[in-house]
Every structure is written in structure tokens, then in C-alpha cells.
Amino acid sequence: MTTDPWLQPPIAPGADRLFCFPFAGGNGTAFKTWRPALAPRTEVWAAMLPARGPRLAEPPTTSLADLVSHLTDSIAKLTDKPFAFFGHSLGSLVAFETARELRRRGLPLPEVLWASGAEGPGTRVVKRHLHGLPHDEFIEALREYNGTPSEVLEHREIMEMLYPALQADFGMAERYEYREEPPLDLPIHALYGDADPHVDYELLQGWGRETTRSFSVHGFDGDHFFLFPHEEAITALIAGRAR
């Protein structure tokens, strides 16, 4: 198995691979319970970004293009098996742009792109810019996403450690500029929470413009972080075991 710092490797070899791209401020631990859920067939590889987890001491990446380039370099070494991409929120954009970068380099594409908790790249609307807010206002705004426990948000020392990654990630998402390119030749499946105030259902449909293949939408009860309470259903969907 690779020791590449940009990817957290699976627990055991499998027949295919799922590369997971986390939400703003997240890291590979968000998908740690997916590994046994998708084993033994699928290897779960999770993107590991600077300024969090084992890379906490490193400065954050502030350029989405640079982030995509690094991740593409790493994934390019692992395209010897069939693979798919899963991204949540910011991770959906990263997954999408990484698939595009693989295509530019003439490398194999993922067999499927799972885009979760995000409007279409070309239809998305940034409703509020958070990354430029003063520190305390930024932390308070995070409460609206319901992805960080209140006790963590209120723990100043912990938030001081998490703040650089969060601010950098929100900056990348909010500064993202869509570029027109041909649709990808792979199926795209969009997932959303029916009570997510940050994702408009009509704008979510924009993912359908990015594929020449099939497109589907899957809704779940919950807010922006619906993927946690519905982990069993989502991993079953990815594995093709959903009923």
C-alpha cells in the first residue's frame, strides 16, 4: 500500500476502489466506518488534506487548482483497478475537478461520480461568503451547517487548531469559478438532504449537465450532514445493495 500523505489507504486490498473527498474542514476519518461497510470488495481511500489530522502542522491549501493537481498526482498511481469518486459538499467540487484533470492528462476516469450535498458546479450559487468574516463571526456561522458539535465550537483552543483548514476550505469553495468543458463520460449520482438549507434542489439538477451518461438524484431525511445518520443506506447505494 502507498504511504502517500495525500491519501489514507484502505484496511485491506479489494477488487475496486472508492476515493472519498471530505467536506470543508474534514479529513479521511469522516469515512473510517465506510471501510468495513464496503469491504471486502471495495477499497476506501480518503483524501488527506494539510492543516488537519496527521497533517495538522502543515499550512492549508488555499488553491483548488493546486489541491486538485496534488490529488490527481496521487490517484494517477492507483488507476490499475476500477474506481469511483465520492465527495461531500466541497468534496463534490474537488471530486468533479479531479475527474476533469484525469481526463486532461489522458488517464482513466472513475466509473461513477457520487456528488453529495452540493449544487451543480455550473449552477451553484454562493449565498454567503464566510471565509472573509472575522474569526468569531466565522465560527458562529459554522453552527448553521450543523457539522461541528457545539462543544467543539465553544472550545477556543480546539477551534484555533481547526480554524486555518476551515477558513481555507470555505475560501476554495466560495471562490470556485466554473469553466465550460465537455461533459464527463461517466454516470453522476447526486445525493442531498431534504432539509439542507445550503443546497437548492433545482440547482442540484445542474450535475446532470456534466455527464454524457446516466444521472440520478437520491434524497435523504436531514440537513447538510445527512450522510452521517444515513451512512448504512449510502454505503449500500454505492455498493449496489440498496433496495
Catalytic residues: 89
Instruction: Return the C-alpha torsion angle 146, 148, 151, 154, nearest 10.
Output: -100
Q: Residue 132: helix, strand or coil by DSSP?
A: coil
Where does the chain show beta strands of DSSP type E?
7-8, 16-21, 42-47, 83-88, 113-116, 188-193, 215-220
Joined grid coordinates for residue 187: 454516470
Q: Round to whole Å and give the CA distance between 77 and 17.
A: 12
Q: Residue 37: helix, strand or coil by DSSP?
A: helix
Q: Round to whole Å and give the CA distance between 31 and 22.
A: 8
Q: Round to whole Å and give the CA distance between 205 and 63.
A: 26
Amino acid of residue 11:
I
Q: Residue 177: helix, strand or coil by DSSP?
A: coil
